[in-house]
């Protein structure tokens, strides 16, 4: 019986990117960031007010990622992230035009793309690279495209919602492409250094506890104590 090969399309790749955006922003801000179930087909990607961040990627396929933040969404994400980092609220910026806000959102986009690229490399067995994300504070819409022509470009827009119901948008353009699974393979497991360190710490504590309560250790301790008492008795002490 013949089986139909699994096909991964451009929209499946977009879904992986949306999941990376939600996952990274939710985990770094300790809040809920979700994306819409519907995606909009667009003809061009744009940088829009109030803050816009973009990055180009290439390799197995080429594309452009743009995230357009409204001022309220940018401030909410920035302040939630900084509080999670232990910064007191009195030291946080209040305006989306602050350089600090732009720097934080650029760093978060860098983490988003890193998570996305890691998934693509492992799950699609291809390799892509990203440019350093650029953040702009603008008050007018700007159209942006990458230097090289995309192969039958596919452009999409997805809306996201923060925990306080502030909206921002992801715009995505890439080659129209398909990945076809020819045979089964085991995708590499996700590696989380924090989990490994936590597990190692627990094992270390457990081993120390076992060493203290081991029956053999108790016998050895009792024997050593008895020998010390005998020696003191012989010395008349």
Q: What is the CATH number of the domain that holds 42?
A: 3.40.1550.10
Is residue 93 domain-resident? yes
Is residue 191 domain-resident? no
**Measured distance between the N- and C-terminal CA atoms of the chain, rounded to whole angstroms:** 89
Report which of residues 26 and 201 the model is more confident about.
26
Average pLDDT value for residue range 67-93: 96
Is residue 89 domain-resident? yes
Mean pLDDT of the chain: 83
Is residue 86 domain-resident? yes
Q: pLDDT digits over 183-197, tens only?
A: 886 666 555 555 545
| pLDDT > 60? residue 204 | no
pLDDT given at position 234: 53
Structural domain range at position 40: 7-180
SS3 content of the chain, % helix, strand, coil (to 5): 45, 20, 35
Based on the structure, what is the number of domains in the chain? 1
Q: Give 69's contacts (C-beta < 8 A, 6+ positions apart).
A: 50, 51, 52, 53, 77, 96, 105, 168
pLDDT given at position 140: 86
């Amino acid at each position: 019986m013949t089986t139909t090969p699994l096909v991964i399309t451009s929209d499946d790749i977009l879904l992986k990117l949306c999941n990376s955006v939600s996952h990274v922003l939710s985990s770094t801000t300790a809040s809920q960031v979700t994306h819409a179930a519907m995606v909009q087909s667009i003809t061009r990607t744009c940088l829009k007010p109030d803050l816009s961040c973009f990055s180009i990627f290439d390799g197995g396929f080429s594309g452009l990622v743009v995230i357009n933040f409204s001022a309220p969404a940018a401030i909410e994400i920035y302040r939630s992230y900084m509080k999670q980092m232990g910064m007191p609220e009195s030291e946080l910026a209040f305006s989306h035009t602050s350089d600090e806000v732009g720097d934080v959102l650029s760093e978060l986009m860098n983490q988003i793309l890193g998570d996305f690229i890691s998934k693509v490399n492992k799950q699609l067995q291809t390799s892509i690279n990203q440019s350093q994300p650029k953040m702009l504070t603008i008050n007018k819409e700007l159209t942006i495209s990458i230097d090289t022509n995309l192969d039958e470009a596919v452009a999409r827009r997805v809306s996201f919602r923060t925990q306080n119901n502030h909206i921002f948008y992801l715009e995505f353009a890439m080659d129209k492409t398909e990945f076809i699974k020819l045979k089964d393979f085991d995708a590499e497991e996700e590696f989380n250094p924090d989990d490994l360190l936590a597990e190692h710490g627990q094992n270390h504590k457990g081993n120390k506890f076992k060493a203290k309560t081991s029956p053999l250790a108790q016998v050895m301790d009792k024997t050593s104590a008895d020998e010390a008492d005998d020696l003191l008795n012989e010395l008349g002490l």
